Structure 1
Amino acid sequence: MEGTIYSLIPAVIMLLLVIITRNVLISLGTGIIVGALLIHNFNILSSITEIWEVFYTIFYADGEWQIGNIFLLSFLILLGILTAFLQASGGSRAFGDWMMKRVKTRTGAQVMTAVIGIIIFIDDYFNSLAVGQIARPLTDRHRISRAKLAYFIDSSSAPVTVLAPISSWGAYIIGTLGTLFAANEITEYQPFEAFIQMIPLNFYAISAIILVFIVAYFHLDLGPMHTHEKRAEKDGELLSPEQDNVAGDLGDVFDPHKDGKVYHLLVPIIVLFIVTIGSMYTTGVIEASSYGLIDAFANTNVNLSLILGGLSSVIVAAVFYFSQRVPRSEFGKILIEGTKTMMPAINILLLAWMIGSIIGSIGTGDYLAGLVENASINVSLLPVILFIISAIMALATGTSWGTFGIMLPIAANIMVNTDESLLLPALAAVLAGAVFGDHCSPISDTTVLSSTGAGANHIDHVLTQLPYAIIAAVSAIVGFTLVGYTHSTLLSLLVTILLMSIIVIVLKKSVVDRRKEKTTMK
C-alpha cells in the first residue's frame, strides 16, 4: 500500500468526511484508523498498536521527550488563560470601547485586521494567535463574524511569512535553498538573492494578500461567508447558533470588571510580542553562534519562544487583574476556564499530527512526488504542474514545511536537468502551492491555530476560506503557466493580479444582482 495510489485513500476519506459531516474529530479519527489498517494490511491488533505509537510519539520518541510539541500545546493553554484574564479584567471590553471611537465602521475594522496581519510577519503561529487577541474585541463590536476574522488571520499569516526573508519561514527556506544549490552545483544564485527574486514569483501568496484587502474593503462575502456575515450583522450572532465549545471563545463565562482599562489588554499583548520575538532572536543566536538576523531566524526555537512569551504575558495580565482587588478564588476559575476553551484546538491539533504521521508512513507525499519525477511533461508546464502537485500534497498532509522539504529538492533536480532558466519559477511554484494546499486543509496546524485565534468553529473557517483560496489559486495557475512559456516575471505577475481582479468584479456583480433579485421577489 505504501507509496502507491492507495496511499491517497486516508486523506481522501478524511477530506470527504469533513465536508459531509462537518465534524473534524470524527473525520480525522476515521482517516487515522483507515490509514493504520492500510499500513498493516488490515491486521487489527497491529493497527491498534500503530495508532497508539503514533499518539505517544507526539510526546516521547527516540528515547527523548518531544519538547517542541509539548511547548506548543502548553502555549495554547497559556493563550487560553491569557484570554480569560483579559476578559475578566475588563481589558478586552475597554479596548473594544476605545477602538470603537476610532474605527467607526465595519469596513475600517476589517481593513485594520488585515493590516495587523501584514505587520506581524515574523512567524505564522505567532501571527495566527496574536492577531485574534488584538482584533477580536473590535471585530466583535462591529458584528463581524468569527469565520471572517479567521479568514483574515489565516490569509495574512502564511502568505506574508512565506514572502518575508526575516521570518521563521523565510529563514527555513533560505537555508533549504543553500543546501539545494550546493547539492546541485548551482552557482548562479546565492540563497538570499534567490529568495528575494522568488518573492514576485509567488503568485498565490501575493494574490491571497491582495484579496484579503479586497474582501475587507468591498465586503466580498462569497458562499457560506455571506451566511455568516449576514447573521452576524443582522442578529449579532458571531458564530453559528448550533456551534458550541468553540476553541478560543469564552462566551460570557466572565463578567468584565467595571474598572478595566485599555492597558490591561495592550500591555500583556505588547509583552507577548517583545518577549516572543526577542526569544526567537536569542535562541537563534545561541544555536547559530551568529548575530545575523537570517542566521538567527534560520536556527530559532519558535515553540520555546512562544511559551516564554505566553508565560510572560500571562504573568503581567494576572498582576493587572489581581490589582483590581478581586477575590483570590477567581484565579482557579480563570485557569480552568482558560484551559477548557483551548481543549477543542488541542484535540484537533493532536489528531492532525497523528494523521500527518500516518500519511507520512503510508507514503502519500512520496507517491505524489514520484508522479512529477516520472512523468514526461513539457518543460514550460513544469512550474504550474509543481504548483498543483505541491497544493495536493499540502492539502493531504496538512503541512507546508513538509511539502517544502519533499518538493523543493525534486523541483531543483528536475529544473537543473531540463531548463535551469525556470529554476526560480519552479521553486516559487512549490512554495505557492504548499501555502494554497495548507489554506484548504482542515488538518493544517496553521489553519487550526487561525480558527483558534479567531474563536471560530474550525470547519466553518475551512469552508468559508475555500472560495477565496480557489480564486487566488486559479489566478496563480494562469501566472505559473504564463511564466513557464514567457519567462517574464513582471508580465506573469500583472496578468495574475489582473485576472484575479476580473474574477472579483464578476463575482461581486453576480452577488449584488442575485441579492437584488431576491429582494425584488420578496
Structure 2
Amino acid sequence: MELGILSLLPATIAILLAFITRNTVFSLAVACFIGVLVAGQGLLGFPNLLKEALGTTSFSWIFLLELFIGVLIAFFQRTGAIQRFSAIMDRKNFNRVKTQLVSWFLGMFVFFSDYFSPLFVGSTMRNLSDKAKISREKLAYIADSTSAPVSVLMPITGWAVFISGLLIGMGTIASPDEAIKVFVKAIPFNFYALLSVLFVGLIALKIIPDFGPMKKAEERAMKEGKVLRDGAEPLMGEELTEIAPYEGIKTNIFLNLFLPVIIVISIAIGTFFVLDSAKTMEAFLTASVVLGIIMRLQGIPFNEIMKTATSGMKGVLPAIIILAFAYSLNKLTEDIGTAEYIVSITENFLTPSLLPMITFVLAAIIAFATGSSWGTFAIVMPLAVPLAFSFTGDEVTTLVLATIAAVCGGGVFGDHCSPLSDTTVLASSGAASDHMDHVKTQIPYSLAVAVIASMAYLFIGLVFV
C-alpha cells in the first residue's frame, strides 16, 4: 500500500505526541490507531495490527530475551552481586568522571549484544552513578551510546552478519567471505558510530562540556541531588529496582556475577563462530538457569528463587509494552510504504559526489521515523550500494565503502536516539530513567555527531569521487 505523504503521518504523530505528553505508550498507541484508520482498515485494523506485528518470531525472540535478561538482573540483585560489585568499586573512591568512564568501558566490553549492553551497564552502574550524583539521563546516554554504535563496528556480531548478507550479490561481492571483508574495510568510514562512542569519552572527561537539556539534568543531580526530575517515571518496574539481597547469603562475586556474564559471552560468541548465528537468547536462558542453581546451593529456597524470577519478569514489562507498540508501528509504516516514500523523494539527488552524505541523511531519517536500524539497512542498502558500484565500474572503491558505512551509520542514528527504537527503550530501562527524558537529553548529542558525520561524508564525496 502506498499513501504518499500520508505514510509519514503515523510516525510523525508518535514522535510529536511522545515529546508533548512524555508518555510513549499512549503516543505509540494513538499513532497506530490513527495509522490503521488512514490506511482504510477501520476500527478492527488496530487489533489486527497488534496480532500481525506481535505474533511473529522476531517479537517472540526479543520478548523472551527481555524476560531472561530481567530474570538474570533480578538474580544479580537478590544474591547481592550488584551491591557487592558496587561496594568493591566504591572503595576505589570513584568520582563523577571515573564513574562515567567505567560505564563507558563496561558498555564497550559487552559489545556482542546491543540488547544486553544497555541493560547490563545501567543496572550494574546505577548505584555508583546515583552516589556520584550523575543523572539517570546521563547514565542512559552512556549505556545507549555503547550499545548499537559499538555492535555495528564489530565484525563478530549479528549486525555484521546481517549487513554482510545484504551486500552479497552487489558489484563484485559474490560470497559471504567477500562481503565480510568489505564490511571490515568500511568500518573506518562509519563516522557516526565511531564518533558516537568517542563522544561519550570526551563528555565523561569534560573535554566536551555538557550542553542542552543534559546540562540541566546534570546540574539538577549535582546541586539538588536529584538523579531523576520531579515527576519522572523510570522505565523499570519497582519489582526489579527494589529487590534486596537475600538475608544470610554469602555473596560470591565470581559465581553470582562474573560467571553468568562469562556464560553469556561464551555462548553468544561461540555460537556465532560455530553456527554463524549468535544465540543470545539461549545464552541468557542458560546463564539464568545456572545462576538459579547456584542460588539454591547457596541456601536460597526454591520458592524464593522463583519469586525473584517473577519479579525480574515484571520489572521489564514497562519496556516490553513500549517495544510491543513500537513493533506494531514499524509493521504499519512498512505496510503503508513510509520508507519507500522517503526514498522516492530523494532519488534524484543521488549524484556520485553527494551519494555518501545523502545516503547517510536518508538512512538517518528513515531509522529515526521507524525506530528500526535493520529495517533501514534492508531498505537503503539495496538502493544506495548498487548505485555506488555503478559509479565505480563495479570496483570496491572509497565511494562504495563510504556508502556502505553511511547506510550503517544512518541506521544506527535512528537506533541510537529515536524514541521508537528498542535499544533506546532498553537504555532507559537499564538506567531506570524516564524514557522521554533520556530521548530529549540525548538527541542534541546525537545530532551534533550526525552533523559532523554528514560533513565528513560530504568531504569524502567531493574530494575522493
- Relative to the length of structure 1, the TM-score reads 0.81
The Cα offsets for residues 381-409 of structure 1, whole Å up to 9 and x where unpaired, read as: 12111111110000111111111111011
Which residue of structure 2 lines up, in the alignment, with residue 225 of structure 1? 214
The total of aligned residue pairs comes to 459
2:110 to 91, 102, 120: 120
CA–CA distance in 2 between the matches of 1:234 and 1:262?
A: 35
- Pick closer, same or farther for the CA change 1:13–1:58 going to 2, 3 Å: closer
- What pairs with 1:398-409 in structure 2 (closer than 5 Å)? 398-409=371-382
Question: In the alignment, which of 420, 433, 441 is matched to residue 464 of structure 1?
Answer: 441
Q: Give the CA deviation at 1:209.
A: 1.0
CA distance in 2, matches of 1:485, 1:186: 29
Residue 345 (structure 1) aligned with residue 319 (structure 2): yes
Q: Where do 5+ consecutive residues of structure 2 fail to align?
A: none
- Structure 1 residue 394 and structure 2 residue 389: aligned? no
1:14 maps onto 2:2 in alignment = no
Higher alpha-carbon deviation: 320-329 or 171-180 = 320-329
Alignment counterpart, residue 359 of structure 1, candidates 325, 330, 333: 333
Percent identity between the two aligned chains: 35
Which residue type is aligned with residue 452 of structure 2?
S
The Cα shift of 1:59 comes to 4.3
Q: Kindly indicate whether residue 97 of structure 2 is the aligned counterpart of residue 107 of structure 1.
A: yes
Contact 1:272 1:309 in 2 (8 A): no
Deviation at 1:274, TM superposition (A): 3.5
Alpha-carbon separation, structure 1, partners of 2:264 and 2:85 = 22
Q: How far apart in 2 are the matches of 1:251 and 1:76?
A: 13
* Secondary structure in 2 matching 1:124: coil
Aligned residue identity for 2:327:
W
Deviations 1:44-97 (A, max 9, x none): xx333322222122443xxxxx34422321232232233333223322222211
C-alpha contact 1:384 1:477 (8 A) present in aligned 2 = yes
- Look up the match of 2:45: 50
- Pick from 199, 217, 232 the counterpart of residue 211 of structure 1: 199
CA positional deviation for 1:355? 0.3
Query: Is residue 116–residue 131 contact of structure 1 (8 Å, CA) maintained in 2?
Result: yes
Once superposed, what is the RMSD of the aligned Cα atoms?
Answer: 2.7
1:467 deviation in Å? 1.0
Work out whether 1:247 is the aligned partner of 2:236: yes
1:314-463 aligned within 5 A: 314-322=288-296, 325=299, 330-331=304-305, 333-373=307-347, 375-419=348-392, 421=397, 422-463=399-440
Q: 1:279 to 1:144 in 2, by over 3 A?
A: same
Q: CA deviation at 1:238?
A: 2.5
Equivalent pair of 1:90/1:258 in contact (CA under 8 Å): no
User: 1:196 corresponds to which residue?
Assistant: 184
* 1:484 alignment partner in structure 2: 461
1:154 to 2:154 alignment:
no
**How far off is 1:324 after superposition?**
5.6
Q: Deviations over 1:395-430 (max 9, x none)?
A: 111111111111011012222333454222122111
Q: Tell me which residue corresponds to 2:67.
A: 77
Is this contact kept in 2: 1:3–1:362, CA < 8 A? yes
Q: Contact 2:79–2:249 at 8 Å: present in 1 too? A: yes
For 1:228, the aligned partner's letter is A
- Answer whether contact 1:100 1:141 (CA < 8 A) is retained: no
Instruction: Name the counterpart of 1:270.
Output: 258
Structure number, greater radius of gyration: 1
SS of residue matched to 1:407: helix
C-alpha distance in structure 2 between counterparts of 1:259 and 1:152, whole Å: 35
For 2:93 and 2:464, the matched residues in 1 are separated by: 44
Cα deviation code 1:101-150 (max 9, x no counterpart): 12521211110111111122222123223323433343233232221111
How far the C-alpha of 1:3 sits from its partner, in A, is 4.8
Query: Any stretches of 5+ residues in structure 1 without a counterpart?
Result: 41-45, 61-65, 286-290, 489-522
TM-fit CA distance, 1:180: 2.3
Contact kept? 1:145, 1:229, Cα under 8 Å: yes
Alignment TM-score, normalising by the size of structure 2? 0.90
Aligned partners of 1:476, 1:388: CA distance in 2, in Å? Answer: 10
**SS at 1:163 equivalent:** coil
Name which of structure 1's ranges 200-209 and 114-123 shifts more when overlaid on structure 2.
114-123
CA displacement at 1:273 relative to structure 2: 3.3
2: CA distance, partners of 1:413 / 1:215: 38
Is contact 1:275–1:308 with CA below 8 Å preserved after alignment? no
